[in-house]
Amino acid sequence: MSNHSIVLKSVEGIDTERLAKAVCSLADDSITVTLTGQNDREVKGSVVNGDGKRYDVVLTPERAFCDCPDSTFRRAACKHAVALALTILQIPAVEVEERKPDLRLKRMRTSDELAHDRARRLPALPCEVSL
């Protein structure tokens, strides 16, 4: 899945009022959007309003999260989420790893490595106990 797919899904069904607000705010530079991170499940960013208030936004394929009152009470995409989504769409898409079998293999490998680490550290304990 590309980061474009994630942000498009997160703001799916956005109402025209919030879409218009986001587009206008971006167009007149009254808000500043910064991409702070992304992986196969989410795209994160911060949006600073004209009045200097900062909101942290997380976009997932399921929904958009923002800590502004609009998003918190409505539990739906707000203008900050749309502004972040639109900003991401302006830059070339980045393919992010999908949650499919290959990733599951990677996760299993990771837990194997953890178990291996634990196994390597454990032998010291029984020796001390037996003393």
Q: Is residue 76 a contact partner of residue 65, using CB atoms and an 8 Å limit?
A: no
Q: Is residue 64 a contact partner of residue 76, using CB atoms and an 8 Å limit?
A: yes
Based on CB atoms, which residue is closest to Zn ion, 34 or 110? Answer: 34
Stretch that binds Zn ion, among 11-19, 32-40, 80-88, 110-118 (CB under 5 A): 80-88
Which of 26, 33, 58, 78 forms a contact with Zn ion (CB under 5 A)?
Answer: 78
Q: Does 71 bind Zn ion (CB under 5 A)?
A: yes
Based on CB atoms, which residue is closest to Zn ion, 73 or 122? Answer: 73
Report, in this order, helix, strand and coil percent for the chain, each rounded to 5.
50, 20, 30
Q: Does 68 bind Zn ion (CB under 5 A)?
A: yes
Q: Does 96 bind Zn ion (CB under 5 A)?
A: no
Q: Cα–Cα distance between 77 and 50 in angstroms, integer?
A: 19
Q: Cα–Cα distance between 127 and 78 in angstroms, integer?
A: 59
Residue with tokens 């999260």: 65
Based on CB atoms, which residue is closest to Zn ion, 59 or 96? Answer: 59
- Interface residues with Zn ion (CB under 5 A) are 55, 66, 68, 71, 78, 80
